[in-house]
């Protein structure tokens, strides 16, 4: 069996990004009321925004992996 046949790389990338996205967005939601914490980033809740971006990116990778698996 070839090395490539054993693991579709889009799966670990997708799951890592989904996991990190949930962690960051969750933390952003939990700390959203703490204005002092987000002074560094110019008042922007960057944890929430970037967490959602990473989560969506992860979902795209997982969908690509699913499509690849369906194609065989």
Partner 1 sequence: MDLVPVIHLSAIDYAVMAMYFVFVLGIGFALRRSTKSSSDFFQSGRSLPPWVTGLAFLSANLGAQEVIGMGASGAKYGIATAHFYWIGAIPAMVFVALFMMPFYYGSRARSVPEYLKLRFDEKTRTLNALSFAAMTIFSSGISMYAMGKLFNLLLGWSFDVSVLVSAVIVLAYVFAGGLTSAIYNEVLQFFMIAFGFAPLVFLGLRSVGGWAGLTARLTEAAATKGLAPGAYTHAWQGMTSAATNPLGVEWFGLVMGLGFVLSFGYWCTDFLVVQRAMAADSMIAARRTPLIAAVPKMLFPFLVILPGMIALALTGAAGGGIIPAKLAADGAPLLDAAGRVVMDFDLATPMLLIKLFPEGMLGLGLTALLASFLSGMAGNVTAVNTLWAYDIYQSHIKKDGSDAHYLWMGRAATVGGILLSIAAAYVAGAFNNIMEVLQLVFAFVNAPLFATFALGMFWKRTTGHGAFWGLAAGMSGALLHHGFTLPNGSVPGIKGGFFGLLHTYPSEMAQTFWTAIVAFMTCVIISIAISLVTTPRQDIELKGLVYSLTDKPQDQGIPFFKRPVTFAAAVLAATIALNLIFL
- Interface contacts to partner 1, rule CB under 8 A: 1-7, 9, 12-13, 15-17, 19-20, 23-24, 27-28, 31, 37-38, 40-42, 44, 46-47, 50-51, 53-54, 57
Among candidates 66, 56, 46, 62, which has minimal Cα distance to 13? 62
User: How far apart are CB 23 and partner 1 at their closest, in Å?
Assistant: 6
User: What is the rounded CA–CA span in Å between residue 57 and residue 17?
Assistant: 7
Length of the chain (residues)? 72
User: How far apart are CB 19 and partner 1 at their closest, in Å?
Assistant: 6
User: How far apart are CB 37 and partner 1 at their closest, in Å?
Assistant: 5
Among candidates 59, 57, 50, which has minimal Cα distance to 27? 50
């Amino acid at each position: 069996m070839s090395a490539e046949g054993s693991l579709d790389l889009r799966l670990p990338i997708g799951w890592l990004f989904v996991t990190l996205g949930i962690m960051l967005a969750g933390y952003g939601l939990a700390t959203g009321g703490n204005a002092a914490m987000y002074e560094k980033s110019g008042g922007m809740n960057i944890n929430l925004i970037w967490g959602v971006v990473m989560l969506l990116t992860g979902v795209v990778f997982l969908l690509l992996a699913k499509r690849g698996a369906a194609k065989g």
